[in-house]
Amino acid sequence: MKIYELTLEQRIKYLLENEYIDQRQADSLLKRQTISKDLADSLSENQIGSFSLPYGFATDFLVNGKDYLVPMTIEEPSVIAAASNGAKRIKHSGGFKTFPSKRIVYGQIVLEKITDIDFEQLEQNSSEIFNFAQNAHPSLLRRGGGIVSLKFNRYDEFTEIELGIDTVDAMGANMVNTILEKTAHKIVELTNDDVLCSILSNSGQGQVITVEARVDFAQLGTKDMTGEQVANRIVQLSSFAQKSVKRAITHNKGIMNGIDAVLLATGNDFRAQEAAAHSFAFESGQYQPFSEWHIEDAQLVGTLKMPIELGSVGGAIRALPMAQLSLAIMKIKDSQELQSVVGAVGLANNLSAIRALVTTGIQTGHMGLQSKSLAVSAGAVGSEIHAVAEKLNQTKDYTIKNAENILKELRE
């Protein structure tokens, strides 16, 4: 039986029997535990409850030779199905290969209206500033991270001291801000200059990953088109996305569908990722797609290149039980491994979306899955959901009115 055909309880049993989770984790999934009042209070202000989203997993991810089930948190019905579908086609042709990056986070200390003499004095003190910053977070050094670069830049009346910091496995925003604020005090001591602000940059320049996937033509065909025809159409659409900004934006949205869902499931800061990703897309001066597809040696070859800003420790990750569960299901060892899986999910979602677009169109699959949520919105419960969804799929009239009418007829 396919995983999507199992009941929720059977899926949890599958995870347990295949040692993705232990009995305690299975029990907490079955009880559908939300976060405690105390934890919610410690994570956010004016808290009055917790907001739930569906939590599931994508299948068939083979990344750098290791098999993964990938937990995803998402309210859009087709995203997990699309990730699994893309991953399966890629798995049959050898899986994903990734080239992750170190986690270099850049931070800025901004000074206003300093004189040329003060600027020279700053540069003369660069070793002292570097060493001070290096010792501002001793545990980071012990973990093999720390300051990797120091630059002084001038923008009109502003001077920027830019630190590049290897945050090892943490997303690093808090760590970097701590280092910057301590270093800013030191700068005031050394130069008497006024510091306007000290803050990390969400530029993902130090966290760019490349993910590659090859797909045999045999994995791409439909009943009306050969795999080679589909591959050629995917290449054409990929090329169009490089020329049309409007298309590139939606191409990238399809990639972010998968990426954000894994970031949410692992307790990561998806806003940071969004900021990093979209500034990278605009790096050349024209908004560009994060991935491109071409044909090589009778295979469709996809490459995704983009920053992926995340951590496998720190922030809310250590506090949120579901984030810990997600990392356990994937058996993640460090942030580079998580970055690789997240990048692979982005590329898998991309393949599924563009293959659907150039063949049957996106709505057949989308609305087929959307029909269940329409049924629930119309008031269907239990076995009614499946019955109403089936009828919606037959009539292909995916409106709430139609769902309500079908439900009414069913209950009569």
DSSP-derived letter for residue 362 is: S
- Side-by-side strand order, sheet with 158-166: 146-155, 158-166, 104-112, 195-200
Residue 313 C-beta: closest distance to ligand NDP, Å? 4
Residues 317-376 that bind ligand NDP (CB under 6 A): none
Question: CA-CA distance, 353 to 83, in Å (whole number)?
Answer: 9
Question: CA-CA distance, 176 to 190, in Å (whole number)?
Answer: 21
Measured from the CB atom, is 29 or 171 closer to ligand NDP? Answer: 171
Residue 197 C-beta: closest distance to ligand NDP, Å? 12
Q: Backbone dihedral region of 51: left (phi > 0), alpha (psi from -120 to 50 degrees) or beta? A: beta
Residue 340 C-beta: closest distance to ligand NDP, Å? 16
According to DSSP, the residues that pair with 112 across neighbouring strands are 158
Please indicate whether residue 294 is annotated as part of the active site. Answer: no
Residue 198 C-beta: closest distance to ligand NDP, Å? 12
Measured from the CB atom, is 16 or 313 closer to ligand NDP? Answer: 313
* Contact track, ligand NDP, 152-181, x by CB under 6 A: ---------------xxxxxxxxx-x----
Please indicate whether residue 269 is annotated as part of the active site. Answer: yes
Q: Which of 15, 220, 272, 354 binds ligand NDP (CB under 6 A)?
A: 272
Residues 180-219 that bind ligand NDP (CB under 6 A): 200, 202
DSSP-derived letter for residue 5 is: G
169, 212, 260, 269: which one is catalytic? Answer: 269
- Give the strand pairing for 299-307 and 208-216: antiparallel
Residue 306 C-beta: closest distance to ligand NDP, Å? 17
Residue 266 C-beta: closest distance to ligand NDP, Å? 12
Question: CA-CA distance, 201 to 310, in Å (whole number)?
Answer: 14
Count CB neighbours of 17 within 10 A: 10
Which stretches within 143-244 are classed as H helix?
A: 173-191, 227-243
Please indicate whether residue 334 is annotated as part of the active site. Answer: no
66, 185, 253, 408: which one is catalytic? Answer: 253
Please indicate whether residue 151 is annotated as part of the active site. Answer: no
Question: CA-CA distance, 70 to 80, in Å (whole number)?
Answer: 9
Tell me if 403 sits within 8 A of 375, measured CB to CB. Answer: yes
* Contact track, ligand NDP, 288-327, x by CB under 6 A: -----------------------x-xxxx-----------
269 is a contact residue toward ligand NDP (CB under 6 A): yes
Question: CA-CA distance, 151 to 95, in Å (whole number)?
Answer: 40
Which helix H or strand E contains 146, and what residues bound it? strand 146-155
Q: Collapse the DSSP code of 97 into the 3-class scheme (helix H, G, I; strand E, B; otherwise coil) and give the result.
A: strand
Residue 137 C-beta: closest distance to ligand NDP, Å? 7
Question: CA-CA distance, 377 to 248, in Å (whole number)?
Answer: 32
Measured from the CB atom, is 150 or 313 closer to ligand NDP? Answer: 313
Question: Which residues touch 196 (CB under 8 Å, ≥6 apart)?
Answer: 110, 111, 112, 158
Any idea of the CA torsion for 142, 146, 148, 151, to the nearest 10 degrees?
-150
Count residues near ligand NDP (CB under 6 A): 22
Measured from the CB atom, is 289 or 311 closer to ligand NDP? Answer: 311
Residue 162 C-beta: closest distance to ligand NDP, Å? 15
Tell me if 65 sits within 8 A of 95, measured CB to CB. Answer: yes
At residue 290, φ and ψ (nearest 5 deg) are: -75, -15
Measured from the CB atom, is 234 or 342 closer to ligand NDP? Answer: 342
* Contact track, ligand NDP, 122-151, x by CB under 6 A: -----------------xx--x--------
Nearest Cα to Cα of residue 213 among 93, 49, 373: 93
Q: Which residues are catalytic?
A: 76, 253, 269, 366
By the criterion CB under 6 A, which residues form the site for ligand NDP? 139-140, 143, 167-175, 177, 200, 202, 269, 272, 311, 313-316
